Structure 1
């Protein structure tokens, strides 16, 4: 009977030891699995983050839009400077360049609603640029008035590639006034040219 009790005690100790070892192994295996799972989740998270970043194609598309807008702004500024200098021939050449720039403007990178709005703006602006290319100075200035409004509306959608100042002459068009854009805050009036060079004021920065 005594031997039986001893044997039972030994057996219970062995079982307890095996159970402890088994639990320990399970815990270690669980830690390994969790570690592997975390690494996998982190990798998937990294891939998702990378997928959400801006691609070089997106960046180049934005740069292309800026470039197109920049061409139009530069041609417009050349036209404005020609009118300031009372240079009808120079204004006509700038008008021709604007016609081409408006015709080549790619609107596909914009949202559908913006594309529709820009199409209307660009068609109207191109028409005024066409008139400027073939008109005398007085008519060039009349069309420049509406062209300037069109360009402001366009830049509200595309953004401006550089800092521009919207300026205003209160005396043009029978004192109804007219706006234009310039890269400088200094007033150089394209509607009266050398006759009233400094007539006007800065309305806002674009």
Structure 2
């Protein structure tokens, strides 16, 4: 009887030890299984934070563009209708350059060509406008726009009656050679680079 009891006790002890080891293994496995889930959850949180950050940056850029488009333009009046219309069409070309829109540039260039089509004194402006209107290449248009700006300077300076025109300069234009343009905004909107370098430049002179 004693031997039977002792054997039963030993058997029970062995079962208990096996049960303990099995529980530890199960707990360890559960712990190991939970770690990847926690890591996945952590990575998911990081992705969400990055997405939120990118959305915030996009919203900030969008706000900047909206603020830029809402900026007040400054008007200018001229001594004659030709100069007034020429300036309007020139600004149309300039804005098209800012927006990198060759079709809009061609439309305004066609209008500018008509202004001085029969004016020998400003025939160069008409010829340049015709050249700009004949190409779809935005880079070539920008080169011709530079020439138009130079040709427009005496028209603007000699005929402005009131208001302001801003002569602005970008040192990076045309591979660092730099160039000027005229604007109806004091804030810089670069026609030579558009959105690539929208705010590159400075106001050199105010014509009034």
- State the TM-score bracket (shorter-chain normalisation): 0.5 to 0.7
Contact 1:168 1:177 in 2 (8 A): yes
> SS at 2:88's partner residue?
helix
> SS at 2:157's partner residue?
helix
Residue correspondence of structure 1 range 59-78 to structure 2 within 5 A = 65-78=79-92
- Which residue of structure 1 aligns with residue 106 of structure 2? 92
Q: Could you report, residue by residue, the CA deviation over 1:50-71 in whole angstroms, capped at 9, with x for unpaired residues?
A: xxxxxxxxxxxxx994322110
Contact 1:70 1:161 in 2 (8 A): no
The Cα shift of 1:98 comes to 0.3
Q: CA RMSD in A?
A: 1.9
- Which residue of structure 2 aligns with residue 181 of structure 1? 182
Q: Could you report, residue by residue, the CA deviation over 1:115-160 in whole angstroms, capped at 9, with x for unpaired residues?
A: xxx71xx122211111110111111000000110111122232235
Segments ≥4 residues shifted beyond 3 Å:
none
Contact 1:91 1:133 in 2 (8 A): yes
So what's the TM-score if we normalise by structure 2?
0.58
So what's the TM-score if we normalise by structure 1?
0.59
Q: Is 96-105 or 172-181 further displaced after alignment?
A: 96-105
Change in 2 beyond 3 A, CA 1:160/1:173: farther
Residue correspondence of structure 1 range 107-126 to structure 2 within 5 A = 119=121, 122-126=122-126
- Which residue of structure 2 aligns with residue 14 of structure 1? none
Alignment partners' CA distance in 2, 1:172 and 1:166: 15
Alignment partners' CA distance in 2, 1:155 and 1:84: 21
Unpaired stretches in structure 1, ≥5 consecutive residues: 1-62, 106-117
- Which residue of structure 1 aligns with residue 130 of structure 2? 130
Alignment partners' CA distance in 2, 1:149 and 1:171: 18
> SS at 2:80's partner residue?
helix
Structure with greater strand share of residues: 2
Contact 2:78 2:84 in 1 (8 A): no
